[in-house]
Amino acid sequence: MFWFDQFVNGLTVGSVYALIALGYTLVYGILQMINFAHGEIFMIGAFAGWAVLLLLGGSAIAGPMLIVALLAAMIAAALASSFSAVVIERVAYRRLRNAPRLAPLISAIGVSIALQNVALKLTGGRDRVYPRVFPTGEVGLGDFSVGYIQAFLIGSSVVMMVGLIVFIQRTRTGRAMRAVSEDRATASLMGVDVDRTIVTTFIVGAALAGVAGVLQGLWIPNIRGTMGFLPGIKAFTAAVVGGIGSVPGAMAGGYFLGLSETVGRELLNELPGVSLPNEWRDVIAFSLLVIVLIVRPTGIFGERVSKRA
Amino acid sequence: MERTRAPFAALREALHAAEERTRLPVARLLLLVLLLSVPLWPMVDSRWLRILVLVGIFVVLGLGLNIVVGYAGLLDLGFVAFFATGAYTYAILASPASPALQADLNWWLAIPVVLALGAAVGVMLGLFVLPLRGDYLAIVTLGFGEIIRILLLNVRGLTNGAQGLFNIPRPELGGWVLRSLDQWYWLLVLSAFLIATAVGRMRASRMGRAWEAIREDEDVAAGMGVNTVKYKLMAFAMGASIGSFGGLVFAGFFQFVNPSSFTLAVSINVLSIVVIGGMGSTPGVLFGALILIGLPEVMQFSETERLLSVINPAVPFADTTDWGRQVASARFIVFGVLLVAVMALRPEGLFPARRPQARLPERHESTA
């Protein structure tokens, strides 16, 4: 059914946005900085997963080997992304923690531009294509059925988000992250190792984005050096719409943005005399952002007003 | 003048003395003459001038954004919208390819039109984003810039869509057509000088002090009686007006506009220029544009390639046969690394802004 398919497409895009948005919101919550290079972390994950799938046999992967290969690809992506994020944090952000507000942003933009172009150079500017290993087919009942890949993508992102919430709420490290984001100085006085907690935050956010890269690669096979840019911006938009700094907000914002880009555009097309081609989804996303922020300047789940001019 | 620590300091003091004697901005006028003379230097050929024109356009854009970001502290990531406003206004009104509103508008007459329309667009955006601060403002302005670009792409009846508008006429005044590169360069130097002077005046005025107060703390500024709404809108209007002028020059120089010239990359480049140069600093904008726009272009020169090949390092395990070309084609990587490096070494920017100070003629021991 058309509308159900659109809804599933929205959820799929939304899952990717949500996973990336979590990284933005976690880092923002702790450092109050826009980690502009986060989209490139997503891109690195996609490439790492692609490399692992090729090493394990490419399109020849089938049967039980598929599960091993997918797990390996996702773990490799999480590792590669986390490692990059740690290096970036050390090289480009750490010494700027007390610098003027825009310095870390510009540094992050620099990292983003450099990484995009390194990737473009290494690939000679040509796309790489994920091997089509995932079985095609649909699960569900009649009109209400979902492609395997989309079901897998939506399912694994939900699992990861539940895992993240448990990690933040139930573990010692998660508590340290919450403490540092609440008040860095006080947390430090209470014996929390602030540097280490910040690095952990980067690792967690990057791992989610890296796996999101693999998931998107399985769904939309073409990957390239600039692939992280637009999803990065969209995911940041999602994080802001949800209320930046808020973990449930990033998830809700991701799904909200994904659904409004797909279902919302089709709904508008139902209006008489309206015909919006696909590229208008960006207009919809950004208009929505403007409207949400004007109606509710702290975002949907906003925890605090950003007072820093 | 006995405290001459370095030749540079001696020069600065001599200039100060001259400025006080003649009551003229001697240093700035000397810089103007120096910049105007560039096309006469022997080594400067058309390639250099082309780059300098591009740098000049970005200096103009940087001066505009500097008001919004540097003075008023409003982080705008969608400055390209104003650049596009100026370029497309002239293109639509003057290009023979324009599908609507073609009016054969003269470039010089377009200046007031573009300045006014730019200010109007700035105020419109400003009204939208008045309640937003900090990063929320950044992301909404970014969205605004993207929306403008997609509109340019899709409102074909006005903008001709992806094909863009071509054969845009050059500036023409009573039969004299602005054609050669050095004329364009001189036009840009003079207009940038005028804009920089005007912006300097604004900064030293009541308006500039209001901007500074808003930047430091908006709530306190409002509490002290600063009309924050008015001055924030003024900052957007002034910045947008100057940005639109940059677009007007762009359209007249390249004689062609299409939506792919008005991407987020432009906003990011201009913001980088302002921050790398030092927020709120006018010389910072000049040097920021020279480094960030000029350097990557110069890296494409074949001389640079050859020079880099000469200093070819013997990197173990790496194929360095084509070293020069490899480095030259890596200019965007260099751009990114440059941003990181400058911020790491000088987080305040290369030329941190000094606060404006009123100097009394009696006191000769300057605090600068």
Beta-bridge partner residues of A139: A146
- Indicate the helix (H) or strand (E) that contains A232: helix A229-242
Average of pLDDT values for A250-275?
87
> Is B317 within a domain?
no
In a domain, B65, yes or no: yes
Domain span at B149: 49-261
Q: Supply the mean pLDDT for chain B.
A: 86
Is B356 contained in some domain? Answer: no
Nearest to B66 by CA among B185, B184, B198: B198
> Regarding beta strands B176-177 and B172-173, do their DSSP bridges make them parallel or antiparallel, or are they unpaired?
antiparallel
**Domain-located, residue B362:** no
**Which residue does chain A place closest to B326, by CA atoms?**
A121
Residue type, B259: P
pLDDT of residue B352: 86
- Whether the per-residue pLDDT at B366 is higher than 80: the answer is no
Residue A87 corresponds to which tokens in the numbers above?
Answer: 């290096």
The answer to the question of residue B140 being in a domain is yes
- Extract the runs of DSSP E, i.e. beta strands, from B66-220: 172-173, 176-177
Assess if residue B4 is contained within a domain: no
What is the chain B residue with the closest CA to A232? B139
For residue A180, give the nearest of A163, A198, A160, A199 by alpha carbon: A198
Q: What is the pLDDT of residue A308?
A: 39
**pLDDT computed for residue B321 by the predictor:** 57
Higher pLDDT among residues B8 and B53, named by residue:
B53
Cβ neighbours of B232 in A, within 8 Å: none
Q: Is the distance from CB of A206 to CB of A81 less than 8 angstroms?
A: yes
Q: Does B214 touch chain A (CB under 8 A)?
A: yes
3-state secondary structure at position B143: helix
Mean pLDDT across the stretch A286-293?
Answer: 80
- Closest of B203, B201, B240, B308 to residue B76, by C-alpha: B240
In a domain, B125, yes or no: yes
- Count of domains in chain B? 1
CB contact under 8 A, A110 and B329: no
Instruction: Evaluate if residue B112 carries a pLDDT over 80.
Output: yes
pLDDT value, residue A304: 52
| pLDDT score, position B6 | 67
| Interface subset of A 218-237, CB within 8 angstroms of B | 233, 236-237
- Subunit contact B74:A280, Cβ cutoff 8 A: no
State whether the Cα torsion A172-A176-A177-A179 is positive or negative: positive
CB atoms within 10 A of CB B88: 29
d(CA A64, CA A54): 16
CA–CA separation, B128 and B130 (whole Å): 6
Q: What is the mean pLDDT of chain A?
A: 89
Of B131, B134, B151, the CB nearest to A309: B134
B166 min Cα distance to partner chain A (Å): 24
Is residue B39 domain-resident? Answer: no
Greater confidence, A61 or B115?
B115
Do A108 and A35 form a contact (C-beta atoms < 8 A)?
Answer: yes
> What is the residue type of B191?
S
Geometric angle at alpha carbon A254, from A203 and B141, rounded to 5°: 95
pLDDT score recorded for residue B207 = 94
